[in-house]
Structure 1
Amino acid sequence: MPGLYRKTDSKRHAVASKIASTEPYRSAWRRDYARLLHSASFRRLQGKTQVFPGVESDFFRNRLTHSLEVAQIAKSIAIKLNETHKLFKNKNKKIEPDLVEFAGLAHDLGHPPFGHNGEEALDECMRDHGGFEGNAQTLRILSRLEKKENALPATSEYIVFDQDGSDQRRGLGLTYRSLASVLKYDNPIPERSRDRENKEEVVKGYYRGDFELVKEIKRAVLGKYFRGKFKTIECSIMDIADDIAYSTYDLEDVFKSGFKKPLDLFVLPSNIYENVVKTINKRLKKQYPDHPNMKVNTSDIQEILHYVFVEELFEFGKNEYKLLKKRKMSAEAKKMYYAAQSQQASQTLAENGYYRTRFTSKLVEMALNGIEVKKHKKYPQLHQARLDVYTFIIVEVLKNITFETIIRAPALQVVEYRGRDIVKKIFEAIIKDGGERLLPDDFRETFCGGDELNRYRTACDFIAGMTDRYAIEFYTRLYGANGMTMHKPL
């Protein structure tokens, strides 16, 4: 079958006898989308923090609303490329928008409570038992943890482990192509800390226990096992959409919060600009080897901020600026007036919903106009969408400015540090002798059904699936003086 999608792509990660007959009214990808949308893991994203904790304001985005925005942007990219790019002009070679939308909705399923600190805390707990990483956990949730499909015949009782100890769970029973759409990092995470190159950082990849699954995914998508870099066109589009959403809508939340206003971004401490430069140059080297001489410096950061904000800010006061030119005033007085007008415009952009919406729409449009595709010579499934290098730098500046000024700010770090402590304490309580009694029935069954590696992974799965609120509540029931109850379910 020619083009991007073939019969093997729609093969499902489950036993055929458990799958209903092909439905003529919807594609395999649309069915996967429906299964994801109705899953418990997807619903729980509403209780996981994006930038600001949900208790601060109902306005702020959470992981669920962020995922919806990523999915919409990703689908728009797919539709745009189908209409405008020569690689996708042929009807048999078009990108499947439903599959791209699925990837956008699913990409954050594996994130634990309390953001990056929660991820680091779980990884530290799992350093010698396979590690933890959000993207790896997403693949595990979709392919194993969600309670939709089981490898045993439909007439059998649902069980976790067969008599030979093999795991019978098949998650949502998705197509391999859908599973491929969330496989961002094609490398297994070392099972032991000593085997890691960098002992301090979370390793991006998939769990060693999913190695055979990843081989199956590659065979289903490409028709053979592939040893090169594997990342599908749908996954690359999702990745772009995620970066666009981070750089645009997280920044809007920052403005709405009152932490920063647009003009504040021009007068940040020098170490923030230096950290942003360091991060961007590292990513440029890795992702744009075809631009070996492309680097940024702190002056470039200021110029990009000027490009993004100044025209928008001066739009507010253009009439006042025109009148000012005609007035007879000293140069110093005019400078003071310009400064006051700029401060007012900055405050207006930060506080007025109409102006913020216009601003974010322009940013998204700018990013969508900067998308290019790198052709894969052999496999069209592995074409790579990416931002052109100049648009990439703009997006990275906005994304990393937000990260350095807000996510690393003391006010948020105190909250996340507390979350880190909560995650570790819960893990320690579960993994010690008798700790399985703290688990709900389904997790306790899995915990007791395997070896030490399985016990650690099950404890990790339980905690990773928690919302921020549930993690705090569970911790309080274990260690706090208040909240002691035997009637509220686990």
Structure 2
Amino acid sequence: MRKPRRAERRHDKVENDPFRTPYQRDRDRVLYSSAFRRLSGVAQVAAVNEQRVLHNRLTHSLKVAQLGRRLVQHLKCDDSNEAQEFRKSSGIKADVVETAGLVHDIGHPPFGHVSEPVLDACLRRSGGLEGFEGNAQSFRIVTKLARRRTEYAGLDLTRAALDAMLKYPRLRPQSADDLFTTPTWTDRRFGSKWGAYASELEDFRWARKGARAGLRSANAVLMDWADDITYATHDIEDYFRAGLIPLHDLASDRDRIAKHARHRLGKLPDFDAALFDAGLDKVVSRFKQITSSCWDTRANRSAMNVITTTNITECVGAVSFAADPPYVAVDSHCQYLVEALKELTWFYVIDKPSLAVMQEGQKRIVQSLYDRLHACLAEAPKSPRLPIQLRSIYRDLARDPDFDSAYGKSSEARQARAVVDYICVLTEAQAVDLDERLSGRSHSSMFGAWFS
């Protein structure tokens, strides 16, 4: 019997597995990949070498995957005839959403979002490349850079899994006039960013076969909502534990938080300040259960667990089936609640000098690493001065017809892409160590170097 089109793979045409579905195999392939394990060395917001036990990109991705599965289970509890019809139309699958949650951040460079504008500028200066985007890099890693077989590149995930990870199912717009805008920022059917490079155009077209241009799949909507919920809740826990967010005394800062949010979010299409204020008031009210600034009291730990559970339960219940494609929707009031939760991290942590100064240094590390590796690669692509994995990435690019089709046979473009691809397979500790070695500031031994 022929497999459903959504369960097909681009390369492996035969499934010989008596006890796993194709979607369960997707999940296992991701979990066993080195690209996924690397996320334990990439920051969420704070550096991964902090002494406090904070989330990193790996623990964040595991929670997104888990919560994505719960969202599907919530929808499947609706036994009405209408819901049954929507389920058939939407194609939602718990294993697919879970896999998308695992890989959605797999392309994040060292130091997370702070590195993206640095790498974007590097690529846009080189040979007509469209720049850097973390979501597009995730798609590139899954389809090209990760390896499990010599016969083909990538993890060869099913069409459904690839489509589900595309939060922004489009290539980079050619101009500002091509940017997609939604009538309201709470419309989760579309995304304003982009999610694939031209070098992965064939994989992108294959993954999106039969889909409406720019419209997320139902599985992608659920993964994206799980992502929002997850970091909105665990970032607050992390920074309360670190003494940065005074959850015991939010009421005193309530008006300043609201003002900060209106300044940051006011340009969103159809942003409703009154709905945000209502969400913020709910957040402030719930955190009144926190009685002191000390995380480690039994009362505060229990209260935090209750509050997090309450917030997540409400957010899971905010998902419902919709009459129009992609047949799932998220209640707008709950989206304002999540935005109010995220605003606490913006107000107390992200927009503060202590983080900004550290991020400035991280940008310099990434820029320095790119410049030095690019210079070495341009001078001598086969030089032993280059890490073996970088040479391998560059060699594979030279044999990639999709890359040549997208950008021409430009050695400058190939060198720039290879260096950025290599940086995006490093952990933060590896990036720092390699930059110190290349700049002559390292005291590490030449013996047993991790990159040789």
Partner AA of 2:387 in structure 1:
P
- Measured in 2, the distance between the counterparts of 1:279 and 1:312 equals 23
Structure-2 change in CA distance of 1:376 and 1:82 (3 Å): same
Q: Is the 8 A contact 2:254 2:284 kept in 1?
A: no
Cα distance change of structure 1 residues 208 and 389 upon mapping to structure 2, 3 Å threshold: same
Which letter maps to 1:252? E
The CA distance in 2 between the partners of 1:230 and 1:133, in whole Å, is 19
The AA in structure 1 aligned to 2:370 is F
The more displaced of 256-265 and 421-430 is 256-265
Identify which of 111, 114, 117 aligns with 1:117. 114
Secondary structure of the 2:165 match is coil
Instruction: State how far apart, in whole Å, the 1-side matches of 2:282 and 2:122 are.
Output: 44
Match of 1:157 in 2: none
After superposition, where does 1:352-363 map in structure 2 within 5 Å? 352-363=300-311
- Amino acid paired to 2:157: L
Answering whether residue 324 of structure 2 is matched by residue 376 of structure 1, we say yes
How many angstroms apart in 1 are the aligned matches of 2:284 and 2:236?
A: 12
Paired residue for 1:75?
Answer: 69
Letter in 1 for 2:170: N
**Take 2:425 and 2:250, find their aligned partners in 1: how far apart are those partners?**
35
Out of 403, 421, 425, which is 2:346 matched to?
403
| Cα distance change, pair 178–311 in 1 and its aligned pair in 2 (3 A) | closer
| AA at the equivalent of 1:462 | Y
Secondary structure of 2:148's partner? coil
Superposition deviation, residue 63 in structure 1: 0.5
Q: Would the aligned equivalents of 2:250 and 2:284 in 1 still touch at CA under 8 Å?
A: no
- Counterpart amino acid of residue 184 in structure 1: K
User: Which sits farther off after the overlay, 253-262 or 7-16?
Assistant: 7-16
Question: Are residue 306 (structure 1) and residue 281 (structure 2) matched?
Answer: yes
Q: Give the partner amino acid of 2:342.
A: K
User: Could you tell me which residue of structure 2 aligns to residue 40 of structure 1?
Assistant: 34
Q: Structure 1 residues 141, 118: CA separation in 2 closer, same or farther (over 3 Å shift)?
A: same
Structure 1 residues 307-360: Cα deviation after superposition (integer angstroms, max 9, x where no partner): 2232552x57xxxxxxxxxxxxxxxxxxxxxxxxxxxx1436785322211111
Unaligned runs of 5+ in 1: 153-168, 286-291, 317-344
Assess if the C-alpha contact under 8 Å between 1:83 and 1:89 holds in 2. Answer: no
Q: Tell me if structure 2 keeps the 8 A contact 1:266–1:305.
A: no
- Closer, same or farther: CA 307–445 of 1 in aligned 2, 3 Å: closer
- In 1: Cα distance, 2:130 partner to 2:340 partner: 33
Aligned to 2:185: none
Tell me if structure 1 keeps the 8 A contact 2:393–2:418. Answer: yes
The aligned length equals 413
Secondary structure, counterpart of 1:372 in structure 2: strand
| Cα distance between partner residues in 1 of 2:139 and 2:420 | 14
AA partner of residue 426 (structure 1)? L
**Distance 1:435-1:409 versus aligned 2 partners, 3 A rule:** farther
Other-structure match for 1:440: 387
Counterparts of 1:416 and 1:143 in 2: how far apart (Å)? 30
Residue number in structure 2 paired with 1:144: 144
- 456, 476, 480: which one aligns with 2:416: 456
Instruction: Please state if 1:237 is matched with 2:227.
Output: no
- The equivalent residue for 2:273 is 296
Query: Residue deviations 1:143-174, cap 9 Å, x none?
Result: 11001135x4xxxxxxxxxxxxxxxx420111
Aligned-pair distance for 1:453? 1.8
1:106 positional shift: 1.0
Q: Which residue of structure 1 lines up, in the alignment, with residue 439 of structure 2? A: 479
Following TM superposition, by how much is the alpha carbon of 1:391 offset from its aligned partner in structure 2, in angstroms? 0.7
What secondary structure sits across from 2:321 in the alignment? Answer: strand
**1:51: which partner in 2?**
45
Does the CA-based 8 Å contact 2:65-2:98 persist in structure 1? yes
Q: Which of 201, 206, 216 pairs up with 2:206?
A: 216
Q: Using the alignment, how far apart are the partners of 1:62 and 1:349 within structure 2?
A: 19
- Corresponding residue for residue 108 of structure 1: 105
With over 3 angstroms needed to count, the CA separation of the structure-2 counterparts of 1:408 and 1:346, relative to structure 1, is same
Deviation digits for residues 445-481 of structure 1 (CA, Å, limit 9, x no counterpart): 3325533222211111100121111111111111143
Q: Comparing 439-448 with 354-363, which one deviates more in the overlay?
A: 439-448
Deviations 1:400-457, CA, capped at 9 Å, x for gaps = 3312421222112222211111111111111123264343324313325533222211
Could you tell me which amino acid in structure 1 is paired with residue 279 of structure 2?
A: I
The match for 1:180 is: 163
Instruction: Give, in whole Å, the separation in 1 of the partners of 2:109 and 2:222.
Output: 23
- Give the one of 322, 347, 362 matched to 2:293: 347
Between stretches 231-240 and 120-129, larger displacement belongs to 120-129
Q: 2:17 aligns with which of 15, 19, 23?
A: 23
Report the residue type matching 1:239 in the other structure: D
User: Residues 301 and 250 of structure 1: is their aligned pair in 2 closer, same or farther, counting only changes over 3 Å?
Assistant: same
Q: Aligned in 2, Cα 1:74/1:80: closer, same or farther, shift over 3 Å? A: same
Q: Distance in 2 between matches of 1:120 and 1:404?
A: 22
How many Å separate the matches in 2 of 1:269 and 1:453?
A: 49
Tell me if the contact between 1:110 and 1:464 (Cα under 8 Å) persists in the aligned partners: yes
Q: Which moved more, 1:86-95 or 1:404-413?
A: 86-95
Mapped to 2, the partners of 1:312 and 1:238 lie a distance apart of 27
CA distance in 2, matches of 1:421, 1:88: 52
Whole-angstrom distance in 2 between the partners of 1:233 and 1:304? 26
Tell me how far apart the structure 1 counterparts of residues 380 and 353 of structure 2 sit (CA, whole Å). 34
Q: CA RMSD in A?
A: 2.9
How far did 1:280 drift?
A: 4.0
Superposed displacement of residue 54, structure 1: 2.4
Q: Which amino acid aligns with 1:63?
A: R
Partner of 2:56: 62
Which secondary structure does the structure 1 equivalent of 2:18 belong to? coil
Asked if 2 retains the 8 angstrom alpha-carbon contact of 1:280 and 1:397, the reply is no
The aligned counterpart of 2:246 is: 261
Identify which range, 347-356 or 243-252, moves more after superposition: 347-356
Say which one has the larger Rg.
1
Aligned partners of 2:295, 2:49: CA distance in 1, in Å? 24
* Aligned residue type for 1:310: S
Instruction: Note closer, same or farther for the CA distance 1:439–1:178 as it changes in structure 2 (3 Å cut).
Output: farther
For 2:360, give the aligned amino acid.
Answer: Y
Question: Residues of 2 paired with 1:213 and 1:357: CA distance?
Answer: 42
Please give the secondary structure, in 2, of the residue aligned with 1:126. helix
Give how far 1:133 is off.
Answer: 0.9
Q: Which amino acid aligns with 2:285?
A: V
The separation in 1 between residues aligned to 2:149 and 2:136, in whole angstroms, is 20
